[in-house]
Protein backbone atom coordinates (compact mmCIF):
# COMPACT_ATOMS: atom_id res chain seq x y z
CA UNK A 1 0.00 0.00 0.00
CA UNK A 2 1.27 3.46 -0.85
CA UNK A 3 1.16 6.56 1.28
CA UNK A 4 0.23 10.21 1.04
CA UNK A 5 3.07 12.69 1.56
CA UNK A 6 2.49 16.32 2.45
CA UNK A 7 4.71 18.67 0.44
CA UNK A 8 3.76 21.70 2.47
CA UNK A 9 7.40 22.67 3.03
CA UNK A 10 8.01 22.91 -0.72
CA UNK A 11 4.96 25.10 -1.36
CA UNK A 12 5.78 27.32 1.61
CA UNK A 13 9.33 27.79 0.30
CA UNK A 14 8.02 28.62 -3.19
CA UNK A 15 5.74 31.27 -1.65
CA UNK A 16 8.46 32.46 0.76
CA UNK A 17 6.07 32.03 3.68
CA UNK A 18 7.24 31.17 7.18
CA UNK A 19 5.64 28.62 9.46
CA UNK A 20 4.56 31.38 11.85
CA UNK A 21 2.95 33.45 9.09
CA UNK A 22 1.08 30.48 7.63
CA UNK A 23 -0.09 29.30 11.06
CA UNK A 24 -1.48 32.78 11.75
CA UNK A 25 -3.24 32.99 8.38
CA UNK A 26 -4.72 29.50 8.67
CA UNK A 27 -5.65 29.84 12.33
CA UNK A 28 -3.87 26.77 13.70
CA UNK A 29 -1.03 26.43 16.15
CA UNK A 30 2.61 26.41 15.08
CA UNK A 31 2.94 22.95 16.64
CA UNK A 32 0.10 21.47 14.57
CA UNK A 33 1.28 23.16 11.38
CA UNK A 34 4.81 21.89 12.04
CA UNK A 35 3.42 18.34 12.33
CA UNK A 36 1.72 18.77 8.97
CA UNK A 37 4.86 20.20 7.41
CA UNK A 38 6.97 17.29 8.67
CA UNK A 39 4.51 14.51 7.73
CA UNK A 40 3.82 13.60 11.36
CA UNK A 41 0.04 13.35 10.92
CA UNK A 42 -2.28 10.61 9.71
CA UNK A 43 -5.20 12.86 8.73
CA UNK A 44 -5.93 16.41 7.63
CA UNK A 45 -9.31 18.09 7.91
CA UNK A 46 -10.66 19.45 4.66
CA UNK A 47 -11.29 22.77 6.40
CA UNK A 48 -7.59 22.97 7.34
CA UNK A 49 -6.51 21.95 3.83
CA UNK A 50 -8.85 24.58 2.35
CA UNK A 51 -7.44 27.29 4.62
CA UNK A 52 -3.86 26.31 3.72
CA UNK A 53 -4.67 26.38 0.00
CA UNK A 54 -6.32 29.78 0.41
CA UNK A 55 -3.33 31.21 2.30
CA UNK A 56 -0.77 29.77 -0.13
CA UNK A 57 -2.88 30.36 -3.27
CA UNK A 58 -2.45 26.75 -4.36
CA UNK A 59 -4.39 23.58 -5.12
CA UNK A 60 -4.57 20.51 -2.82
CA UNK A 61 -2.56 18.60 -5.44
CA UNK A 62 0.31 21.04 -4.93
CA UNK A 63 0.54 19.92 -1.31
CA UNK A 64 -0.50 16.25 -1.41
CA UNK A 65 1.48 13.58 -3.21
CA UNK A 66 0.89 9.83 -3.48
CA UNK A 67 3.95 7.61 -3.19
CA UNK A 68 3.66 4.00 -4.33
CA UNK A 69 5.22 1.28 -2.25
CA UNK A 70 8.04 -0.57 -3.99
Q: Give the separation between CA 6 and CA 23, rounded to whole angstroms.
A: 16
Enter the pTM of the model.
0.90
Query: Using 50, 70 and 90 to split pLDDT, how confident is the model at 66?
Result: very high
Q: Express each pLDDT in 14-59 by its tens digit.
A: 999 999 999 999 999 999 999 999 999 999 999 999 999 999 999 9
Superfamily of domain 3-67: lambda repressor-like DNA-binding domains (1.10.260.40)
Q: Where are the domains of the chain?
A: 3-67
1 pLDDT higher than 90: no
3-state SS assignment for residue 15: helix
Amino acid sequence: MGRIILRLDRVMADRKMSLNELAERVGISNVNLSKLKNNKVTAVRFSTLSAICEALDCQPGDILEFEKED
